[in-house]
Structure 1
Amino acid sequence: MLFIVKDVVSALSRAEPVVLPTDTLFALSVDATSEKAVSNLFEIKSRKLEKALPVFVSSFEQAERFFEFNDLAMKLAKKFWSGPLTLILKLKGKLAKNLSISEKIAVRMPSSSLIMEIINNFGKPITGTSANPSGNNDIFDYQELLLTFKDKVPIIVNGEIQKNAKPSTVIDCSNNTVQFLRVGGISEDSILRLIS
């Protein structure tokens, strides 16, 4: 594990992409503060530039350095982080400008000791978009990942992803109200019960 973390952090520091197993799906990750790395990621995924990239953080302290937390966002994060909840929040710290064409970014703290250790050692947020070409189905199989990304991504970390794994639930709470953009690993009922 230490060997993997060291290699991944080195690649991220060179603005290179990596594929990592998370608590939901495989993620395609780069340094979220590097415009060069983010631009490369858009190219690798064939993703439209207007489709913002989500970000992973490893702590509340780190999240609060880069994002504005209103009361509702803090309540949701304290209950469901770390885990499959992505919050759309207003940006306040200096992340790569090309992550999003708006002032809002999707952010999540994954329930993955590997991801946490990587971000802690790297010291900065990383992107957390799914490791698949844009518009294609999610990839659960390591061999398929290798075939898809072997010429584009220098480090692809193997890991167990459940075939029935759900993506994270995505909520825009940037205006202190709840707007569901995707229901995934956390049910709508669980969210509404907490905030009612």
Structure 2
Amino acid sequence: MRIVRPAELDSAACAIEAGELVIVPTARWYMICADASNIDASGSIFKGKRRPSGKSLAYVAPSLAVCEQHFQLGAEARKLAETFWPGDLALLLPWRNPEDAAQHAAVGSPALTTIAPGVLGELAARAKVPVAATTANISGDAGPDDLGPAVTLDEVHVFLAASGLTVSVIVDGGVCPAANHMTIVDCFTPEAKLVRTGLVHQRAVTAALGREVRTS
């Protein structure tokens, strides 16, 4: 396992392309990433995190143009993407091609899709394969001592020890300041529905769409 700085991100991209796992920082917390089309690599994340199979990883698109190649964006989805991407917002989007959905089962159908800022977005832009990502923590561990997803390298190592996962590269981004989730909006139907609030506030989603948006 190598620990590198964000300036050395090419090594993380190469690891993803080779079917290995990497961990990168975001403003929210550290994320564990794999090739979204690699069943074994993505599957190992589900197993290590003890994550339910129906709880998808996020598809991190490198650009809106690439996103549009694979997914259908209705008027409201496009408005949210243009307003908040890159950013801390994920959209549930329908695939254009059922074969793509089958090849990227880890990110679901509709797919949890985002264009991320910072290191995670740069990783998606550099990798020659689609990137799937999720938080570095054990799923469903909400006991009194649960800190949530890792926000420091020490917490990343605690997660790796608990999960048994092997990663090839960890990008050291220091302390992640926000410790909060992405906002998720369901754009599978023409009228978008708020699934989960996070760093992008419900009021911001409402303002972007010009109508009141409530949690579904």
Q: Under a length normalisation based on structure 2, what TM-score does the superposition of the two structures give?
A: 0.82
2:20 corresponds to 1:16: yes
Gaps of 5+ in 1: none
Q: For this pair of structures, how many residues does the alignment match?
A: 194
1:160, 1:72 → 2: CA distance? 36
SS state of the match for residue 51, structure 1? coil
Q: CA deviation at 1:80?
A: 0.5
2:137 corresponds to 1:126: no
Pairing of 1:140-155 with structure 2 (within 5 A):
140-149=151-160, 152-155=166-169
2:105 counterpart (80, 86, 98): 98
2:86 corresponds to 1:72: no
2:145 is aligned to none
2:170 corresponds to 1:156: yes
The two structures, once aligned, show a CA RMSD in angstroms of 2.0
Spell out, residue by residue over 1:110-167, the C-alpha distance to the aligned partner (whole angstroms, 9 max, x if none). Answer: 111x223322221333112111111232221211212321652222211134444321
> Which amino acid counterpart does residue 107 of structure 1 have in structure 2?
T
2:113 is aligned to 107
1:45 is aligned to 49
> In the alignment, is the contact (CA less than 8 A) between 2:150 and 2:159 conserved in 1?
no
> In the alignment, is the contact (CA less than 8 A) between 2:17 and 2:129 conserved in 1?
no
Spell out, residue by residue over 1:84-133, the C-alpha distance to the aligned partner (whole angstroms, 9 max, x if none). Answer: 11111012252534315x52011111111x22332222133311211111
Spell out, residue by residue over 1:30-63, the C-alpha distance to the aligned partner (whole angstroms, 9 max, x if none). Answer: 0112112111121121111121111111211111
2:8, 2:182 → 1: CA distance? 25
> In the alignment, is the contact (CA less than 8 A) between 1:168 and 1:184 conserved in 2?
yes
Q: CA deviation at 1:192?
A: 0.9
1:164, 1:13 → 2: CA distance? 29
2:199 corresponds to 1:171: no
> Which amino acid counterpart does residue 186 of structure 1 have in structure 2?
V
Question: Identity of aligned pairs, percent?
Answer: 23
2:208, 2:12 → 1: CA distance? 37
2:204 is aligned to 190
1:60 is aligned to 64
2:188, 2:47 → 1: CA distance? 28
2:35 corresponds to 1:31: yes
Sort the Cα spacing of 1:14 and 1:167 in 2 relative to 1 into closer, same or farther, 3 A: same
